[in-house]
């Protein structure tokens, strides 16, 4: 069952004080009444409206946040923070900062666009480990975005056990959306030649070539490490997706000896038709103008676990 639908049922039940099973019966009845022409999520939203349930301005746990929500209020501890980045749009300079914020239930990527919010970070008034309150934000896919009408401030509350692990849900490829953190069980149906790139040995970020030297944005002139990435096509029976696997996970797939074309070709051929569990996130590939699955973990299929879980 769709994870967003399950969360929506729980939210409606919590806000209306009506048992979850009864909410689900109302949703199913609503769908039957219109011959199933509305999705479960859509029917749940209709039922919520009929019950007078509105999530706007309600303080929610991160686990309860759903794509499309407006006027979101929540709070969490900052686990990760990108540097302040500047950009130019329509001739005007702007700034953006990405955070990972967590409470006891889950964590989420938060994007700050407002210079007033960002100045709190620049002045070191808000930093890593700060507990922050977020008011009037908006969900874009699986990210929380704060603009001019949002509020971002320090909270006096404490979060003792923030959820450190990224929330990963098993999904079909056909259900993947931009920014999803997901696990997919799929077959490797196509592989492409590995491509080399250079990284800084200190921060592992990309090192760019300039004349005969390599430079890192943070560490300046460096002697780079040579790494590899490969593209795959994965198929789970619902759809296919293009996937990218970076150096460390290529070794988990049994790929090595990248400088030997004959050896790597044989290793690629051995992977074709292999079914595995891939975890990662979805981004837009601007060159191909389609979704791309960035793999950060690869696992063998555990047959014992599948036998214990009839749903799968």
Task: Please check whether residue 37 lies inside any domain of the structure.
Answer: no
Q: For residue 17, count other CB atoms closer than 10 A to its CB.
A: 7
Q: Is the same domain home to 250 and 273?
A: yes
Enter the tokens of residue 125. Answer: 């008034």
pLDDT in tens, 29-50: 888 887 766 778 778 888 888 8
Nearest to 108, CA basis, from 159, 152, 156, 143: 143
CA distances from 265 to 169, 231, 270, 276, 294 (A): 33, 14, 9, 20, 22
Enter the tokens of residue 85. Answer: 């980045």
Question: Average pLDDT of 259-266?
Answer: 90
Residues 6+ apart with CB under 8 A from 3: 169
Counting every residue written for the chain, the total comes to 312
Task: Please check whether residue 41 lies inside any domain of the structure.
Answer: no
Q: What share of the chain is helix, strand, coil (3-state, %, to 5)?
A: 25, 40, 35
Which of the listed residues 130, 154, 178 is the one where a domain comes to its end? 154
Q: Is the same domain home to 195 and 270?
A: yes
Q: Is the same domain home to 73 and 109?
A: yes
Query: In which residue are the tokens 């990760």 written?
Result: 80
Task: Please check whether residue 268 lies inside any domain of the structure.
Answer: yes
Q: Is the same domain home to 174 and 304?
A: yes
> Is 80 exceeded by the pLDDT of residue 310?
no
Q: Is the same domain home to 145 and 215?
A: no
Q: Cβ distance 69 to 78 under 8 Å?
A: no
211: alpha, beta or left, given left = phi > 0 and alpha = psi -120 to 50? left
Task: Please check whether residue 47 lies inside any domain of the structure.
Answer: no
Give the chain's mean pLDDT.
85
Nearest to 2, CA basis, from 30, 42, 34: 42
Q: For the whole prediction, is pTM greater than 0.75?
A: no
Q: Is the same domain home to 181 and 300?
A: yes
Which of the listed residues 100, 120, 154 is the one where a domain comes to its end? 154
Enter the tokens of residue 164. Answer: 């450190």
pLDDT in tens, 231-251: 999 999 999 999 999 887 888
Q: Is the same domain home to 218 and 126?
A: no
Q: How many domains does the chain have?
A: 2
Q: Is the same domain home to 223 and 253?
A: yes
Note down the domain range covering 208. 169-308
Q: Is the same domain home to 126 and 177?
A: no
91-95, 185-189, 282-286, 308-312: the lowest-pLDDT one? 308-312
Q: Is the same domain home to 144 and 224?
A: no
Task: Please check whether residue 240 lies inside any domain of the structure.
Answer: yes
Which of the listed residues 154, 181, 202 is the one where a domain comes to its end? 154
Q: Could you give the CA distance from residue 130 to residue 101 in angstroms, rounded to a whole number?
A: 9
Q: Cβ distance 98 to 39 under 8 Å?
A: no
Task: Please check whether residue 195 lies inside any domain of the structure.
Answer: yes
Q: Is the same domain home to 136 and 182?
A: no
Enter the tokens of residue 229. Answer: 């990435």
Task: Please check whether residue 28 lies inside any domain of the structure.
Answer: no
Q: CATH no. for residue 134?
A: 2.40.50.140
């Amino acid at each position: 069952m769709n994870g967003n639908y399950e969360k929506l049922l729980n939210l409606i039940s919590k806000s209306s004080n009506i048992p979850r099973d009864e909410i689900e019966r109302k949703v199913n009845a609503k769908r039957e009444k219109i011959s199933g022409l509305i999705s479960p999520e859509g029917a749940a939203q209709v039922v919520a409206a009929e019950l007078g349930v509105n999530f706007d301005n309600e303080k929610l746990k991160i686990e309860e946040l759903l794509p499309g929500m407006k006027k979101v209020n929540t709070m969490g501890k900052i686990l990760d923070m990108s540097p302040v980045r500047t950009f130019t749009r329509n001739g005007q300079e702007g700034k953006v900062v990405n955070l990972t914020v967590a409470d006891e239930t889950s964590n989420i990527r938060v994007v700050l666009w407002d210079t007033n919010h960002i100045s709190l970070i620049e002045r070191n008034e808000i930093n890593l480990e700060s507990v922050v309150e977020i008011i009037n934000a908006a969900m874009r896919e699986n990210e929380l975005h704060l603009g001019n009408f949002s509020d971002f401030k320090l909270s006096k509350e404490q979060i003792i056990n923030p959820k450190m692990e990224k929330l990963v849900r098993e999904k079909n490829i056909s259900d993947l959306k931009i920014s999803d953190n997901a696990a997919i069980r799929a077959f490797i149906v196509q592989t492409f030649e590995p491509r080399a790139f250079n990284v800084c040995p200190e921060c592992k970020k990309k090192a760019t070539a300039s004349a005969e030297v390599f430079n890192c944005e943070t560490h300046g002139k460096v002697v780079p490490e040579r790494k590899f990435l490969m593209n795959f096509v994965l198929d789970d029976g619902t759809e296919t997706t293009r996937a990218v696997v970076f150096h460390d996970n290529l070794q988990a797939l049994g790929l090595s000896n990248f400088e030997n074309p004959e050896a790597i070709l044989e290793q690629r051929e051995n992977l074709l038709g292999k079914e595995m569990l891939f975890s990662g996130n979805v981004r837009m590939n601007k060159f191909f103008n389609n979704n791309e699955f960035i793999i950060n973990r690869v696992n063998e299929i555990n047959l014992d676990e599948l036998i214990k879980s009839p749903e799968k």
